[in-house]
Chains A and B, each alone.
Chain A
Amino acid sequence: MKTKVEDINRNIYDIKNKDEYEFKIEKGLNKKIVEEISKQKNDPDWMREIRLKALETYNKLELPTWGPDLSELKMDNIATYVKPKTELNSSWEDVPEDIKNTFDKLGIPEAEKKSLAGVGAQYDSEVVYHSMKKELLEQGVIYTDMETAVREYPEIVKEHFMKCVPVNDHKFVALHAAVWSGGSFVYVPKGVKLDIPLQSYFRLNSPESGQFEHTLIIVDEGASLHFIEGCSAPKYNKVNLHAGCVELYVKDNAYLRYSTIENWSKNMMNLNTKKAIVGKNAQIDWVTGSFGSKVSMLYPMSILNGENAKTEYTGITFAGKNQNLDTGFKVVHNAKNTSSLVNSKSISKDGGACTYRALVRIGENAQNSKCSVSCESLMLDDISRSDTIPVNDIRTDEVTFSHEAKIGKISDKEIFYLMSRGLSEEDAKAMIVRGFAYPISKELPVEYAVEMNNLINLELEGSIG
C-alpha cells in the first residue's frame, strides 16, 4: 500500500534514483538473463511469456517480513544465482569433506555419491529408470522431465503450470517461474493405480537440476500414485539458493502420496513452495522429513476444493548447529465434509532452531469439516531453539477443530529405564529420538526409513551424552 507522502517523494528522487536503478538491474535479474535461459531451454513462446511476466512480478514483490534471516542471500546480486552456469564445472575435490563422510557412513555407492554431489554424470539408475518407464508407458502414465513435457504435452502443461501456485504467491515463486529449470512431470490417467512409488531420485543428476526445479504432477480421476522426492543423503550444490516449486493436482476420487526426505548440504537456503489442489473424494498425503540446509522456509499446502476431500501431513524437522529450519503445513478447507490430519515433530540440538509455522483455514463453505493438529517439539539441549507458530482461522461453525502442541526435553525417567537395561546414555537418547521420529519413518518405504534412521544416528553422534 502506498501512501500519499511516498507519491510526492517519488518526483523529488526520480532523477537521483535513475543511475542506481540501472545499476541494480545490471546486478539483479533482468530480461536479458531470463531470455537467455528461455533460449537455452528451447522454450515455446508461451513459456517465454510466462517467464518474462514472472520477472516483472519478481521485481515488484518484497522479501518476506517474517521468518528466518535471509540476509545472506545477496538479492542485489541475484543474477549470480540464476545465470546459466557454464562456468559451474564443479569437481569431486570441491565437495566438502563432511558431505563425503556422510555419503560413506550412509553407504551410498560411489557413482551415486558423485551424482548427489552434482559432479557426476548419469549413473546406473538410468537403466532402472528406463525399464520402469516402459512399464509405465503401457499404462499410459507419462513420466518425464519438465522441459520435455513443455514441448511434448503443451496443452496439459499450459493448463496447469503456475496455476496451483500463483506466480505472485511470494518473491521466490516469481523468481522460480522466471528461471525454472529441470524437474519432473507426471501424468497418471484416469483409474490407473500405480503400485510402486515413482522416485525423482533417478532424475536428480542433470547438472542444474535441484535448484529451480519444477515438479508438476496430475493424478487424474480415480487414479493413485506415490511419488518420492529426494533422498536422505545430503545433496550438495555449489550455488546455495534452492527455490523449487511443486504443483500437485489430485482430481476427483484420486489419491496421491508425496514423500520427501530433504537433506540439502548445510550451506543451502532452501525456499521451496509446494501446493496441492484436491478434488472431490480425493486425498493427498504428505510425508516430509527436513534435515538439511542452512535455512529452510517450506510449508506444503493442501487446498481442499472438492467435497469429502482429505489430507494428511506427517512431518519431521531436525535442526542442528547453524540451522534455522522454518517448516510447517498449510491447509485450506473450501468444501463440505473435508478433513485434515496434521502430525508434526521437530528436534533441535547444538544451537539449531526449529519453527513450526502453519495455517489451518476452514472457509465459510466448509461445513461439517474436521481438522486435528498435533505438534511435538523436542529440545536436546539448552542452546537450541524451538518455536511453534500456528494460525487457526475458522470461518464457519459446523466444524470440529483441535490443535495440540507440546514442547520439552527427553524425559529423564525414560533414559534411566533404558539405561537400567544396559544401554548407554547416548544409545538411550538416540533410541528415544528414533522412536519419536518413528511415526514419520514408518510412512516411508523401508530403504528410506533405514536411511532416515541412519541419518538420525549420524546427527546425534557425539552431540549428546
Chain B
Amino acid sequence: MAHGKSTLANVILNNPEYTKTKGTVEFQGENINDLKTDEIAKKGVFMSFQTPEEIPGISTMNFIKTAKNKVEGKPVKVFKFKQDVQNYMEELSMNPKLINRNLNVGFSGGEKKKNEILQMLVLNPKLAILDETDSGLDVDAVRTVSKGINMYKNEKNAVLIITHNMRILSELKVDYVHILVNGKVVKTGGAELVKEVEKEGFSKFKKEGTPNEN
C-alpha cells in the first residue's frame, strides 16, 4: 500500500510534516518548492484529503466562503456564491443541512469526501489532486464523486487522481495513467493501462519497480 501516493500530494502542497530531500516541485513553469501551503493553494493547486480534518466551531459555509475569498483574492458576491454552493450540493446529492454544520464535524465518511469535491468545485483550482477520494465509498457515492469530477474538468484545468482502485476510473475519461511503486513511477501509459491492471493486477509492475534504482 505505502508506495508514496499520498506523500506525492502532501509534498506538492508542502505539508510541513514532510521533508523534501531532493528535487523540485514546479507548477506552470514556476518553482513552488519553498512556497507555503496557502500560497500554493492560491496558485491554483487543490488537494482533497483522505481524512479531512474536523474543525469545531466553524461552519462549513463560512469556511468555504473564507477560502474562496482567499484564493480569488477579493470578496465574493455572497448571493451568487450561496446559490452556486447550493447547486453544487444538489448535484452531489448532499444533505443541504451539512453546509451549516461545523466543518466535517460528525460528517460520515461519504459526506466528508463529497464535501471535499464540493470545495474543489467552488474553489475551481487549476490542478486538483484527489487523494484516495474513492476509498471507503459505496458504488453510488463513487458515481457521485465521478460526476463531480466530470463537472469540474475542462480544457483549462487538470486532475490528478490518486487511487489503488480502478472503479472510480471507469466513470472518467483519463488521459494518462502512472503507476507508482515504492516511490517511483514504473509505468506511464494511456487509459488502456487501466484495463491492463484490471485484468492482471499490480503484481507485474511491482516486480518491475523493486530491483534496480536507475
Known: A412-B17, A416-B16, A427-B70. A421 touches B41 (CB 8 A): yes
Interface flag for B47 (CB, 8 Å): yes
With both chains docked as a complex, state the minimum distance between the C-beta of B114 and any C-beta of chain A, in angstroms.
16
Interface flag for B56 (CB, 8 Å): yes
Q: Are B16 and A435 in contact (CB under 8 A)?
A: no
Q: Are A419 and B38 in contact (CB under 8 A)?
A: yes
Q: How far is the CA of A438 from the CA of B63 in the complex (A)?
A: 14
Residues of B62-81 whose CB lies within 8 A of A: 63, 66-67, 70-71
Q: Are A425 and B53 in contact (CB under 8 A)?
A: no
Q: Are B58 and A434 in contact (CB under 8 A)?
A: yes
With both chains docked as a complex, state the minimum distance between the C-beta of B67 and any C-beta of chain A, in angstroms.
4
List, in ascending order, chain B residues with CB within 8 A of A437's CB: 57
List, in ascending order, chain B residues with CB within 8 A of A431's CB: 55, 58, 63, 66
Interface flag for B144 (CB, 8 Å): no
Known: A425-B36, A431-B66, A435-B102. A419 touches B41 (CB 8 A): yes
- Knowing that A418-B67, A423-B66, A424-B38 are A-B contacts, what are 18 other residue pairs whose CB atoms are under 8 Å apart, sorted by A's residue number? A413-B17, A414-B53, A417-B53, A417-B55, A420-B46, A421-B70, A421-B119, A425-B38, A427-B38, A427-B66, A427-B70, A431-B58, A432-B58, A436-B56, A437-B57, A438-B56, A438-B58, A439-B56
Known: A412-B16, A431-B66. A421 touches B123 (CB 8 A): yes
With both chains docked as a complex, state the minimum distance between the C-beta of A103 and any C-beta of chain B, in angstroms.
26
List, in ascending order, chain A residues with CB within 8 A of B56's CB: 435-436, 438-439
Q: How far is the CA of A163 from the CA of B56 in the complex (A)?
A: 41
Q: Are A422 and B42 in contact (CB under 8 A)?
A: yes
Interface flag for B210 (CB, 8 Å): no
With both chains docked as a complex, state the minimum distance between the C-beta of A247 and any C-beta of chain B, in angstroms.
33
Please pick, from B17, B52, B67, B103, the residue contacting A423 in the complex, using a CB distance under 8 A: B67
Residues of B111-166 whose CB lies within 8 A of A: 119, 123
Q: Residues on B close to A: CB < 8 A?
A: 13, 15-17, 36-38, 40-42, 46-47, 49, 52-53, 55-58, 63, 66-67, 70-71, 102-103, 119, 123
Q: What are 23 A-B pairs with beta-carbon distances under 8 A?
A: A411-B53, A413-B17, A416-B13, A416-B16, A417-B49, A417-B55, A418-B53, A419-B36, A419-B37, A419-B38, A420-B40, A420-B41, A421-B38, A421-B123, A423-B38, A424-B38, A427-B38, A427-B66, A434-B58, A435-B55, A435-B57, A435-B102, A438-B57
Interface flag for A225 (CB, 8 Å): no
Q: How far is the CA of A423 from the CA of B67 in the complex (A)?
A: 6
**What's the dominant secondary structure at chain B's contact region?**
mixed
With both chains docked as a complex, state the minimum distance between the C-beta of B43 and any C-beta of chain A, in angstroms.
10
Residue of B nearest to A417 (CB): B53
Residue of A nearest to B10 (CB): A416
List, in ascending order, chain A residues with CB within 8 A of B40's CB: 420
Known: A412-B17, A417-B49, A427-B70. A422 touches B38 (CB 8 A): yes
Interface flag for A428 (CB, 8 Å): yes
List, in ascending order, chain A residues with CB within 8 A of B123's CB: 421-422
Q: How far is the CA of A422 from the CA of B41 in the complex (A)?
A: 5
Q: Are A434 and B53 in contact (CB under 8 A)?
A: no
List, in ascending order, chain A residues with CB within 8 A of B53's CB: 411, 413-414, 417-418
Q: Are A420 and B102 in contact (CB under 8 A)?
A: no
Q: Are B71 and A422 in contact (CB under 8 A)?
A: yes
Q: How far is the CA of A436 from the CA of B55 in the complex (A)?
A: 9
Q: How far is the CA of A95 from the CA of B57 in the complex (A)?
A: 35
List, in ascending order, chain A residues with CB within 8 A of B58's CB: 431-432, 434-435, 438
